Structure 1
């Protein structure tokens, strides 16, 4: 099975697309994962597509922008965002879907909208496990997956560690079910008090790193056994406020770009 690694645009928005894509390619990534605003001009859309081709990069579309609490407004904008992203013909769309306070019926309506857009466009759509969304916690996601087993996930299990204030030792069934439904991986390492440790290279975080690696091992092994030709991973250590800043000076403790490159190389070596 070939692994493809994707660089998040998050944290590099200050760079032009051309500069960003050039740095991504030079670092050894196979593509980028990023969101694109629906109000982009046609010229901007053409430029992004041209530059992706120029740098020979694959593209995973990322949706997170639909945040409205009014459900009727939310569902209309959600569909608009997904259709916009589908127009770029990405490998697939990764979406942060729904709200933790929406009812199950409302969240399922949104998941069904994603299914509709997926069928219309012929592009897979996966739902990211994320705080604040329908999938904000392991035990809640388990209920959905048991009832709606067709839902496919982007697994970012770091969020669940923060929500549960644990490494989910007592939620093995939820983890097993999530791994079975995982189609894409966000490689960020969380801990019991937050979704992102300060630095995975530091020895004091060895326990947290090892726990996440063992979860990811299971995802990779499942797809290898199933004969999958390709699997995608996005190292996704984030920008501030995920990235800790020093008080007063507001200087970052570490370099976000360097950490994500470190994570990519760690996983390339582990799974080669």
Structure 2
């Protein structure tokens, strides 16, 4: 669904999709994403409030980018907390508020990494509180190709290695998982 379906139309559609998935006995998670029905942080929070059964595939990098959150934004935290309480899957990449994905380096030294780690841990803790035996929390290191990837020129030469970045994200998620288990 594109970003132009808003308000009661969006809520009705999402509610119908949740009900159809429940009737079919399949899990249904709505992905948070720019340019889609969940592009706006405020609207997505409204959807979550309106539909108690709505579960999310969280990709907070879209909200960080759309909100140009380059500095610590305390105002966004309560909104993120609401969405993280509905986590059923996590997409991992780190945004810096100006680019959808940044090279976080081999040692995950990018300044935004700490914020994303904190958010992922919150999402995991929330998921763990509702998880049943056998449940799985999908985690996807979502690193897109050019033009999502950071490039050096108009020919799409990437400045980072997506495989290496995916391994760094995997390691970070494992750390967030272990911290969530200790703090749950």
Say yes or no: does 1:218 pair with 2:122.
Answer: yes
Say yes or no: does 1:160 pair with 2:63.
Answer: yes
Say yes or no: does 1:184 pair with 2:89.
Answer: yes
How far the C-alpha of 1:120 sits from its partner, in A, is 4.4
Query: How far apart, CA to CA, are the structure 1 residues paired with 2:154 and 2:48?
Result: 44
**Unaligned segments of structure 1, at least 5 residues:** 1-97
**Unaligned segments of structure 2, at least 5 residues:** 179-184
Write the mapping of 1:1-272 to structure 2, written as runs, cut at 5 A: 98-166=1-69, 167-197=72-102, 199-201=103-105, 206-229=110-133, 230-272=136-178
Question: SS of 1:231's equivalent?
Answer: coil
Q: Deviations over 1:212-271 (max 9, x none)?
A: 000011111223344544322111121111101221543111122221122113322443
Query: How far apart, CA to CA, are the structure 1 residues paired with 2:168 and 2:132?
Result: 25
Query: How far apart, CA to CA, are the structure 1 residues paired with 2:26 and 2:150?
Result: 36
How far the C-alpha of 1:203 sits from its partner, in A, is 6.7
TM (norm. structure 1) is 0.58
Query: How far apart, CA to CA, are the structure 1 residues paired with 2:108 and 2:172?
Result: 17
TM (norm. structure 2) is 0.82
Query: How far apart, CA to CA, are the structure 1 residues paired with 2:18 and 2:154?
Result: 46
How far the C-alpha of 1:205 sits from its partner, in A, is 5.2
How far the C-alpha of 1:192 sits from its partner, in A, is 1.3
Determine if contact 2:87/2:124 at 8 Å carries over to the other structure: no
Structure number with bigger Rg: 1
Determine if contact 2:94/2:113 at 8 Å carries over to the other structure: yes
How far the C-alpha of 1:147 sits from its partner, in A, is 2.1
Query: How far apart, CA to CA, are the structure 2 residues paired with 1:190 and 1:231?
Result: 22
Higher strand residue share: 1
Question: SS of 1:170's equivalent?
Answer: coil
How far the C-alpha of 1:170 sits from its partner, in A, is 0.7
Q: What is the number of residues matched between the two proteins?
A: 174
